[in-house]
Amino acid sequence: MERDTRITHAGRRPRDYKGAVNPPVYRVSTVTFEHIEDFENRRGEMIYGRFGTPTTRAVAEAVSDLEGAAESVLCSSGLNAISTAMLAFAKPGGHLLVSDSAYWPVRKLCDGLLARLGVETEYFDPHIEADGLTRLIRPETFLVWLESPGSLTFEIMDTPALAAAARAKGVPTAFDNTWGASHFFRPLEHGVDISVLAATKYHVGHSDAMMGIVCCNEATREAVRQTAIQLGVTAGAEEAYLTHRGLRTLSVRLERHQKNGIAVARWLEGRPEVARVIHPALESHPDHALWKRDFDGACGLFGVVVKVASKEKLVAMIDGLELFGVGASWGGYESLALTAYPEKIRTATRWEDEGFLIRLHVGLEDPKDLIADLEAGLARLA
């Protein structure tokens, strides 16, 4: 089946729920059994609320279908999914390779909790080539963490080459696929072992639920599943239901986010106040060819570097925006704008752009109105 059809139908079994199109919300902790032997042998669709319900399994099955995964584990947030994937392979004295452009809380996890557990994290240039990655891998390396486009700065990696290099050394790869959202990119099809999603963003799509998902291939599913069980990782019934609801419109929403985002990005490229627009779908992006080779589209998240004399003027620009909210996260129907400071985060590479970096999420509003809002904001810089 084509992808849009799979998005509509994957994980749905109306006949199991008296014909209901959507699975009911199973609010479950205790599950009772008719016979003690059934409980002792774990017979039945539900064992205990933490181990999953028909509500959570419907989402996991649907996302596994879209990602091409052998199994998907639902978590309470994107960061919970990240920590579950990393801890599934971490060990004292182990060596973890992480892209320097990774989501900032990844660094906090690596330099905090994992460091206390005896894990050494080494950050690498997101533009590293396969040979360079091979040279970084040690006997104690247990995982390579990829993110493409990179968080805040939107570098595109040569994912198939890097995944192949890691696999040749016997090291699994994990990939933060929140930007690709299971629709525009599917890491497992490019040789990656684990795809991690902050489904809070586009899969939910309405800024009203937290959800993380770890999508595993056959080789990694058991380690991730057992780690999730041991950590007590679980996702709430309401959140699973909202993710299931959002998933059905994922394709049409992403197409609109893509259309609006590119329209706004191209307009910004023509503005004298803008030093650079960092959008992989634009021909001006240095990694555009790689993006075009591997991705099927672009979501609404990108960066823009503005020429501004002071932080005060930048604040005046952003605070005065009417349609772009100021807030964390992205992927909902609304547009957002945030300041970003990669120069304060990077350790393996340097961020040397002059000007201030703004991360924009372009929502589902009419792009003409968003452009007018940004135009007034850029005027405030003067």
Q: Is 50 a catalytic residue?
A: yes
Residue 36: partners with Cβ closer than 8 Å, 6 or more residues away: none
Examine the domain organization and report whether 331 and 374 are in the same domain.
yes
Any idea what the Cα angle at residue 163 is, between residues 157 and 168, rounded to 5°?
145
Examine the domain organization and report whether 159 and 262 are in the same domain.
no
Examine the domain organization and report whether 229 and 257 are in the same domain.
no
pLDDT at residue number 209 = 97
Q: Are strands 212-216 and 194-197 parallel, antiparallel or unpaired?
A: antiparallel
Q: Is 176 a catalytic residue?
A: yes
Q: H helices of the chain, where? A: 3-9, 36-40, 54-67, 78-87, 104-109, 115-116, 130-136, 159-168, 221-231, 237-247, 250-269, 288-294, 311-319, 367-380
DSSP characters for 308-331? -S-HHHHHHHHHT-SSEE--S---
DSSP annotation of 150: P
pLDDT at residue number 37 = 87
DSSP characters for 226-249? HHHHHHT----HHHHHHHHHHHTT
pLDDT at residue number 368 = 98
Domain boundary among 201, 220, 247: 247
Residue pair 240/73 in contact by the 8 Å Cβ criterion: no
| Catalytic residue (one of 107, 201, 221, 248) | 201
Examine the domain organization and report whether 211 and 351 are in the same domain.
no
Q: What gap in Å lies between CA 374 and CA 267, rounded to an integer? A: 10
pLDDT at residue number 31 = 85
Examine the domain organization and report whether 85 and 36 are in the same domain.
yes
Structural domain for 259, as ranges: 250-380
Domain count, the chain: 2
pLDDT at residue number 34 = 86
Examine the domain organization and report whether 255 and 243 are in the same domain.
no
| Residues of the chain scoring pLDDT < 70 | none
Q: What gap in Å lies between CA 125 and CA 276, rounded to an integer? A: 21
Three-state DSSP at 87 gives helix
pLDDT at residue number 279 = 98
Q: What gap in Å lies between CA 288 and CA 298, rounded to an integer? A: 11
Tokens describing residue 348: 């393996």
Domain boundary among 247, 267, 295: 247
By CB atoms closer than 10 A (0-12, 13-18, 19+), residue 139 is: exposed
Examine the domain organization and report whether 104 and 194 are in the same domain.
yes
Q: What gap in Å lies between CA 190 and CA 329, rounded to an integer? A: 27
Closest CA to 244 of 35, 66, 50, 12: 12
pLDDT in tens, 311-352: 999 999 999 999 999 998 999 999 999 999 999 999 999 999
Examine the domain organization and report whether 119 and 220 are in the same domain.
yes
| Catalytic residue (one of 103, 123, 202, 241) | 103
The CATH number of residue 374's host domain is 3.90.1150.10
Examine the domain organization and report whether 352 and 328 are in the same domain.
yes
Examine the domain organization and report whether 37 and 83 are in the same domain.
yes
Q: What gap in Å lies between CA 279 and CA 153, rounded to an integer? A: 9
Q: Is 241 a catalytic residue?
A: no
Residue 119: partners with Cβ closer than 8 Å, 6 or more residues away: 90, 91, 92, 93, 94, 95, 96, 110
The CATH number of residue 115's host domain is 3.40.640.10
At residue 180, what is the residue type? G
| Catalytic residue (one of 158, 176, 193, 287) | 176
pLDDT at residue number 74 = 98
Closest CA to 225 of 69, 77, 93: 69
Examine the domain organization and report whether 271 and 144 are in the same domain.
no
pLDDT at residue number 356 = 96
Model confidence, pTM = 0.95
Domain boundary among 189, 218, 247: 247
Residue pair 190/294 in contact by the 8 Å Cβ criterion: yes
Q: Assign residue 127 a region: left if phi > 0, alpha if psi is -120 to 50, beta otherwise? A: alpha
Q: Is 48 a catalytic residue?
A: no
DSSP characters for 268-296? HHT-TTEEEEE-TTSTTSTTHHHHHHH-S
Q: What gap in Å lies between CA 276 and CA 285, rounded to an integer? A: 9
Residue for token digits 């075009």?
292
| Catalytic residue (one of 3, 50, 167, 266) | 50
pLDDT at residue number 190 = 98
Q: How far is CA 82 from the centre of its chain?
A: 10
Residue pair 124/133 in contact by the 8 Å Cβ criterion: yes
Examine the domain organization and report whether 210 and 275 are in the same domain.
no
